[in-house]
Copies of this chain bind each other. A is one copy, B any other.
Amino acid sequence: MIIKEKGQLLLDYINRYVPLTEEEEQILLSKIGYRTYLKGQFVVQQGDICKYECFVLSGCTKTFYMDGEGQEHIVMFSIEDWWTADMGSFITQTPADYNVQCLEKTELIMFSYDIIEDLYAAIPKLERFFRLIIQNAFVASQKRIIRSFSLSAKERYVYFRNQYPKIEQRIPQYMIASYLGITKEFLSKIKSELIVEQ
């Protein structure tokens, strides 16, 4: 059971999509977990089975894939009011393709695989809530595929900087390069070109 004050951030978020009754809020709070991770700790490790969908209350995580050559490829960053997990592993309960690691001290609300079906049964509205959330995530993901094909590295960086100014400030540049799918050296070159241009 989570303390009411922490849970409120999540309830506010959910209520933006589906209004919950007092009773439903109580049920929800009774079924979710809360946990703090320190900088550097892993929420999910590649190969493990992902047991939790997590809502970020504070802090920041990176979700990344380690390829055969030991190269890290960052798929996404998650900050306050975002979600984090390996959804593929969570929904199929098979080993995770991704790692989720905290870049700062991070507070999470955790929806366990073992209780989420009970939660859907108790509060059917949550089926709708998660459908809406995932729809948005899917649309964003499709748009990212388009950008990866139709924009140059410089254009993708400018897009990222405009879209997520808060994230750029708190994350080292070499991780942003990884997220953009380029080397840190090339991002450095892009940045110096942008300074000259403007």
A139 an interface residue at 8 Å Cβ cutoff? yes
Q: Closest approach, in angstroms, between the C-beta of A136 and any C-beta of chain B?
A: 8
Bound: A71/B146 CA distance, A: 12
Residues 124-165 of chain A, each 1 if its beta carbon lies under 8 Å from chain B, else 0: 100110110011111101111110111000000000000000
Give how many A residues have a beta carbon under 8 Å from the other chain's beta carbons: 31
Closest to A125 in B: B127
Instruction: Other than A73-B150, A127-B127, A131-B134, give 19 A-B pairs with Cβ distance below 8 A.
Output: A71-B150, A73-B146, A73-B149, A75-B142, A75-B146, A87-B135, A87-B138, A87-B139, A88-B139, A124-B124, A124-B127, A127-B128, A130-B131, A131-B131, A134-B134, A144-B145, A145-B145, A148-B149, A149-B181
Contact call A134/B138, Cβ cutoff below 8 A = yes
Residues of B within 8 A of A127 (CB): 124, 127-128, 131
Give 26 CB contacts A-B under 8 Å.
Answer: A65-B146, A65-B150, A67-B150, A71-B150, A73-B146, A73-B149, A75-B146, A87-B138, A88-B143, A91-B135, A91-B139, A97-B146, A124-B124, A124-B127, A127-B131, A130-B131, A131-B131, A131-B134, A134-B135, A137-B138, A138-B138, A144-B145, A145-B148, A148-B148, A148-B149, A148-B181
Q: Which residues of B contact A13 (CB under 8 A)?
A: none
Query: Does A120 touch B at the CB level, under 8 Å?
Result: yes
In the assembled complex, the CB of A160 is this many whole angstroms from the nearest CB of chain B, namely 14
CA gap between A44 and B136 in the complex, in Å: 20
Task: Determine whether the beta carbon of A145 is less than 8 Å from that of B141.
Answer: yes
